Structure 1
Amino acid sequence: MTERLEQLGLSIKDQLDNAVFTAVNDAGITFYWIDHPQGKALISAYGAHIISYHPNGQPEQFWLSKTSALDGTAPIRGGVPICWPWFGNTRQPNHGYARDQIWQLGEIKTTEECTQITLSLTDQIVKEHEFKFLLECKFTVGKTLAIELTTTNKDTHSIQISGALHSYFNTQRDSAQVSGMGHVYQDKTRNFIEVTDSQFSLSEETDRLYLHPEKHVTLTHGNGQQLHLTHQGADTVVIWNPGDKKAESIQDIHAGGASEYLCVEAVRTQHPIELAPEQSYTLSQTLEPRS
């Protein structure tokens, strides 16, 4: 259990229940280590950011850059960054402000099948907030992993949001295949031109917004193992990898790192969600690894 934590410079501090422990690093950032018989996970309080998920009998599912900051000075490169209340770089900060805040621990529940842990963020914590809100991220860790990001409007007027679960999956990029995201996409590397292509293949730099995804998307690794992804609340699947050349200019992707992952993201961007006061909306992604 402790080998992975030691690699990341973490040490166990407290045990919260049968399967959940807190760990801290030298910068004082708190992490939650889930050590359940059906699956293990590591979640940073900074950004409510899951950086590791290792189901029993299966390999690590998420990629994490060896040079990523874990000290709260910059968003974490890898795992599943939470992009909220907007997605993309049309506003500052890029992908919103949820991913660089310290979230508060909420409910923990462990059964024989899984552990559930919820982290929350409110407008009282975020200096840049534009409206009153409650943002909760519930992680269900077992044979599968479910990530549920729920926004509740706590203001007196309607609000509009978008967002993403920006998942970095551990795979050999050049042999990976993705299916179920549809055949029509906007290519960001070519000024968002719309492309129809029935055969999936990566370009040197891949940044695509698939506009008509199915509910279920499958990532097939080069060794034939599969990861089945179920999305709820998304209207777009984004597939992204910077390619080797562009990755050289990205400070927190280690040398050769771009070939070790592929981002398959659950995104709400075509049709932003409008929430009336006290109304809630959930964006989720469920991972089911299969041999």
Structure 2
Amino acid sequence: MPFSETGSIEHPLQRFFTAVRPQPTFQWERYQQRDVLVINHEQCRAVFSRQGAQLLHFEPCGQKPWLWCAAQWPLVGAIRGGVPVSWPWVGRHPGESGWPANGWGRLLDWKLVDSQEHAGGVTLHWQLKLWDWQADLYAELGQGMDLRLTTRHQDSEVCHFGHGFHPYWRISDVADVALQGLEGTHGYDELTRSACEHEGDLRILGSCQRVFEHAGVLELRDDAWQRSLSIDTGDSDRTVVWHPGNRPLLGVGGEEAMGFLRVEAASGVDECLSLAPGQHATLSLQATLVH
């Protein structure tokens, strides 16, 4: 894996933006046996996978990439990196042990319904229909990142579900970043299986898997890169902070794993959400540069 001038590992999908001649704003490519949509706009560069409607790379022009992605992808299954969409459940399915963790949404191909460009960036609409369910993912990308997931169903009965955005935020080194905005927030530590209440900045020392009763804005401060990202999880009922520490991840080198931190928006983690016929549920994730 090549290194950038700053000494950090380059994003593997930056290879799509090295051409000297002008490139179209939207262009489909084939990469590691997946169809990917490469977006090259004067305001930003981005890559989506058709599988999972997964935003794998996002880089406002003139900035370092905001999202991390593994260099090697599995031949089949979920791609590790970017912003995986968990749908229509989060974590393990409550009743079917053989069904995939975090739902079918990140494993199936979505339909690109619409893509538009404008002076401020690009907007995209992805859609997935599964049985009586419909999920619509709306993305607005420019100097900031705005994702919205809307769920509906056509069943005649109340249905239960969960949804989540699990972004891998790209950072200089997990040991050198701080997450601000969780002061006084109650949560649960999945590793120690105990309740926790956080005070001060959250710094990652080893493995971390904490679920906080939090919604709204957090700030991810990266002093080495002199960058802070404002991360808004909207009205999701849980914010999850996850990093494997020194635990091995399939297909991910140890040095690679030091370059991300997951700060997630999720609803329906502990108890499934209820959605009546005619209702819809929305999950959002926004990020902007603070400095």
Q: Using structure 1 for the length normalisation, give the TM-score.
A: 0.85
Within the candidate set 54, 59, 62, 1:54 is matched to 59
C-alpha contact (below 8 Å) 1:235/1:271 kept by paired residues: no
Q: How many residue pairs are counted as aligned between the two chains?
A: 267
Q: Which residue of structure 2 aligns with residue 287 of structure 1?
A: 287
Is structure 2 residue 118 aligned with structure 1 residue 119? no
Q: Which residue of structure 1 aligns with residue 36 of structure 2?
A: 31
Shift of 1:288: 0.6
Q: Which residue of structure 2 aligns with residue 22 of structure 1?
A: 28
C-alpha contact (below 8 Å) 2:175/2:205 kept by paired residues: no
Q: One-letter code of the match for 2:141?
A: V
Shift of 1:266: 0.6
- Secondary structure (helix, strand or coil) at the match of 2:106 reads helix
Is structure 2 residue 90 aligned with structure 1 residue 83? no
Shift of 1:290: 3.0
Shift of 1:121: 0.6
Q: One-letter code of the match for 1:216?
A: V
Q: Using structure 2 for the length normalisation, give the TM-score.
A: 0.85
Shift of 1:7: 4.0
Q: For the residues of structure 2 that align with 1:235 and 1:55, how far apart are their CA atoms?
A: 29
Q: For the residues of structure 2 that align with 1:7 and 1:40, how far apart are their CA atoms?
A: 11
Q: One-letter code of the match for 1:207?
A: Q
Equivalences for 1:54-203 in 2 at 5 Å?
Answer: 54-69=59-74, 71=75, 73-89=76-92, 91=97, 92-123=99-130, 132-171=132-171, 172-182=173-183, 183-191=185-193, 193-199=194-200, 200-203=202-205
Shift of 1:5: 5.3
C-alpha contact (below 8 Å) 1:87/1:162 kept by paired residues: yes
Within the candidate set 213, 230, 233, 1:231 is matched to 233
C-alpha contact (below 8 Å) 1:236/1:270 kept by paired residues: no
C-alpha contact (below 8 Å) 1:161/1:272 kept by paired residues: yes
Q: For the residues of structure 1 that align with 2:141 and 2:31, how far apart are their CA atoms?
A: 23
Q: For the residues of structure 2 that align with 1:109 and 1:242, how far apart are their CA atoms?
A: 37
Q: Which residue of structure 2 aligns with residue 266 of structure 1?
A: 265
C-alpha contact (below 8 Å) 1:67/1:254 kept by paired residues: no
Q: Which runs of 5+ in 2 are unaligned?
A: 1-10
- Secondary structure (helix, strand or coil) at the match of 2:272 reads strand
C-alpha contact (below 8 Å) 2:124/2:138 kept by paired residues: yes
Q: One-letter code of the match for 1:76?
A: I
Q: One-letter code of the match for 2:40?
A: D
Shift of 1:60: 0.4
Evaluate the alpha carbon distance shift between residue 4 and residue 95 of structure 1 in structure 2; reply closer, same or farther with a 3 A threshold: closer
Q: For the residues of structure 2 that align with 1:88 and 1:234, how far apart are their CA atoms?
A: 15
- State the Cα deviation string for residues 226-267 of structure 1 (Å, max 9, x = none): 0111122411110000101x1x2x212223222111000011
Q: For the residues of structure 2 that align with 1:6 and 1:256, how far apart are their CA atoms?
A: 18
Residue identity (%) = 22
Moved more, 273-282 or 76-85: 273-282
- Secondary structure (helix, strand or coil) at the match of 1:67 reads coil
C-alpha contact (below 8 Å) 2:233/2:264 kept by paired residues: no
Q: For the residues of structure 2 that align with 1:60 and 1:87, how far apart are their CA atoms?
A: 27
Q: For the residues of structure 1 that align with 2:275 and 2:65, how far apart are their CA atoms?
A: 36
Evaluate the alpha carbon distance shift between residue 222 and residue 26 of structure 1 in structure 2; reply closer, same or farther with a 3 A threshold: closer
C-alpha contact (below 8 Å) 1:232/1:282 kept by paired residues: no
Q: Which residue of structure 2 aligns with residue 129 of structure 1?
A: none
C-alpha contact (below 8 Å) 2:215/2:234 kept by paired residues: no
Q: Which residue of structure 2 aligns with residue 127 of structure 1?
A: none
C-alpha contact (below 8 Å) 1:215/1:232 kept by paired residues: yes
- Secondary structure (helix, strand or coil) at the match of 1:243 reads coil
Q: One-letter code of the match for 1:117?
A: L
RMSD: 2.1
